Amino acid sequence: MTKPTIPKTMHALQAIKFGSPEESLKYNEIKTPEVAHPADILVKVKAAGVNQAEAKGRAGNFPGPKNPPLVFGGDYSGIIVDKGAKVTGFNIGDAVYGSLKMPIGPNGSYAEYVLASQDSGAIVSKPDHLSFEEAGSVGVALCTAYQAITGMGNLPKEGTKKILVLGASGGVGTFAVQYAKTIPDTQVVGICSDKNAELVRSIGADRVVDYTSKEAMDALVKDEAETYDLIVDCVGGDDYYNRLVNTLKKEGTFSTTVGPIMHIGAEKIGLTGWLSMGATILGRKLFGARNYQMVLSFPWDKFSTEIAPLLADGKIKTVLKDSQLFDLKDGVQAHKKLESHRSVGKVVLRI
Ligand SMILES: NC(=O)c1ccc[n+]([C@@H]2O[C@H](COP(=O)([O-])OP(=O)(O)OC[C@H]3O[C@@H](n4cnc5c(N)ncnc54)[C@H](OP(=O)(O)O)[C@@H]3O)[C@@H](O)[C@H]2O)c1
């Protein structure tokens, strides 16, 4: 296919300053990125998943993003419109999806065009049976779930494995439940509120426990002491850790995507907060009752070989609700939805 005409400018959701979604996110016209390096791939974006890291970065609560204006967004799907000389296996016109190495700008996927690279992050061909919205919201959340389970879960090789997923209805949690069920001989219990119980069962959880029910949580702690091999924590905070750590077997692992502060980054915590969090993590790692791990990196090298095939084979599906699909120009609403901490599955921008 010949290279299509690429406009010099494009629409993007720009974070013009750190702050609330309304203060920060503006639907602006900016320069379209161009292929500059041999491994670059320019994608006309069809959908971009929205992740908590972007909302926290936009709010100015996460170290990393600097000097607005910035275009946030890591996950994307779309059509290749240009590529560098060293790109192999992809052609102009191909439908692809993937994730940039960093979702915090400056040139992210909340835009009509995004510059990906075959040398960093992840990019794979999109199977026809996956919609652009499904494919475009996979990267960060599924990689996080994969890393929390396979990268650091230390699961036994033989026998039945019991996994507890905290926050099973969210973006990472819905992938964690499904990914855990792809591992042979696995029993998965999802912690979610009653309103999301049916959904969490429908994606494969063998059982759910309603975290809003004191009786149900007390029964979990009492009846299932030292029975779990792995807890995948997608909520964070001390409360879950303190209540549930003893439901792990002695050699079990508490694998957190968040750490000791619930929804870390939803509020500003300052230098003292970060230092105290670091000290708590170190304390749990060195002196905690069980193995303690925190997801701090992404398995991009496994994306094309181990992660994308699970979607291609239909073993894992993106959980998408119509009410969580937003047009790019309505990105403020998408960030507000995510910041409510009540979204189910993924929040997606359509472009
Ligand atoms: N370490 C990393 O590299 C990494 C990568 C990705 C994400 N993360 C972090 O992982 C966390 C989860 O991300 P996400 O995208 O899954 O978030 P999310 O989609 O916003 O999670 C929303 C879900 O969490 C549930 N929830 C909220 N409070 C809960 C509680 N106390 N107990 C159980 N469930 C609760 C909500 O269900 P209800 O409405 O029923 O409460 C909702 O369905 C975020 O803090 C994110 O920053 C870390």
56 CA to centre of ligand 1 in angstroms: 13
Residue ranges of the chain with per-residue pLDDT less than 50: none
| Ligand 1 atom at minimal distance to the Cα of residue 144 | 5
Q: What is the pLDDT of residues 17-35, one digit of tens each?
A: 999 999 999 999 999 999 9
User: Parallel, antiparallel, or unpaired for β 95-99 and 122-125?
Assistant: antiparallel
- Return the structure tokens found at 302: 């496994």
Which residue's alpha carbon is nearest to atom 26 within ligand 1?
167
Distance, in Å, from the CA atom of 120 to the CA atom of 274, rounded to the nearest integer, reads 28
Beta bridge partners of 9: 31
Which residue's alpha carbon is nearest to atom 33 within ligand 1?
167
- What is the DSSP track for 204-245? T-SEEEETT-HHHHHHHHHHTTT-EEEEEESS-SHHHHHHHG
Walk me through the domains of the chain, giving residue ranges and CATH numbers.
9-138+318-350 (3.90.180.10), 141-294 (3.40.50.720)
Beta bridge partners of 327: 350
Which residue of 140, 232, 235 sits with most ligand 1 atoms within 8 Å of its CB, as the best mutation to test the pocket? 235
> Looking at residue 219, what is its pLDDT?
98
- Return the structure tokens found at 308: 């994308």
Distance, in Å, from the CA atom of 47 to the CA atom of 255, rounded to the nearest integer, reads 30
> Looking at residue 239, what is its pLDDT?
95
CB-based pocket (< 6 A), ligand 1: 51-53, 140-141, 144, 166-167, 169-173, 191-193, 196, 211, 234-236, 257-258, 263-264, 295, 338, 341-344
Which residue's alpha carbon is nearest to atom 18 within ligand 1?
170
